[in-house]
Amino acid sequence: MQAWLRLSRGIDALNRFFGRIAIWFIFAATVLSAGNAIVRKLLNVGSNAWLEAQWYLYAAAFMLAAALTLRNNEHVRIDILISRFSLRTQAWMDLFGLFFMLLPVCVGVLYFSIPFFWQGFVSGEMSSNSGGLIRWPVYLTIPVGFTLLLLQGISEAIKRVAFLRGALPSPFVKESDETPPAGGAEGAR
């Protein structure tokens, strides 16, 4: 189990790294957006390339941050229902969701997005907008983001199994939380 937990910690670290990159993409997109608006209003000059660059940066940020959101247990879920169950039942429900919903969707998206990216890369597909950018960089964010999400899903499954085996405290603690909830691994939520 310890080898699996090391793998899980490695995946978590990888997604924290990409989460930090996503923050910088948001910052760059915000600066680009503000600069573009100022130039457009003051000088009456616009650029489709700058608008598309904003879009690419936001797309990359969201795709890269999705796995970290799962890692931090901040994704959308039905807490009002699931919180009524014990932590062990919640872990089993999460495992079901991971194995029968999240991981198959990630594999399906990867199956279709890798050839989609490759076709855009090989063809050098360009935006149809005047002065637009090449498209493959934004296409690449789809398989990269879903690969990170797939890996994080595996990491979360490892943590749920470790919790069920008594090798980890509650997997429902957010990264920013310092201690698990009162009552340890068996505490009610």
Q: What's the residue count for the chain?
A: 189
Supply the pLDDT for residue 174.
Answer: 64
What string of pLDDT tens digits covers the 189 residues of the chain? Answer: 889 999 999 999 999 999 999 999 999 999 999 999 999 889 988 788 888 999 999 999 999 999 999 999 887 776 777 778 888 998 999 999 999 999 999 999 999 999 999 999 999 999 888 888 999 999 999 999 999 999 999 999 999 999 999 888 887 766 554 444 444 444 443
Q: 46: helix, coil or strand? A: coil
DSSP state of 134: B
C-alpha span between 188 and 35 (Å, rounded) = 50
List helix spans (H) across the chain: 2-43, 48-71, 79-82, 87-97, 103-123, 136-164
Other residues' Cβ atoms within 10 Å of the Cβ of residue 142: 18
Upper half-sphere CA count for residue 103 (Cβ side, 13 Å): 14
C-alpha span between 179 and 20 (Å, rounded) = 23
40-52 burial code (b ≥16 CB/10 A, e <16): eeeeeeeeeebbb
C-alpha span between 165 and 25 (Å, rounded) = 39
Domain range list for the chain = 2-171
Nearest Cα to 172, choosing from 156, 155, 149, 158?
156
Nearest Cα to 183, choosing from 169, 163, 166, 164?
169
How would DSSP label each residue in 17-65?
A: HHHHHHHHHHHHHHHHHHHHHHHHHHH----HHHHHHHHHHHHHHHHHH
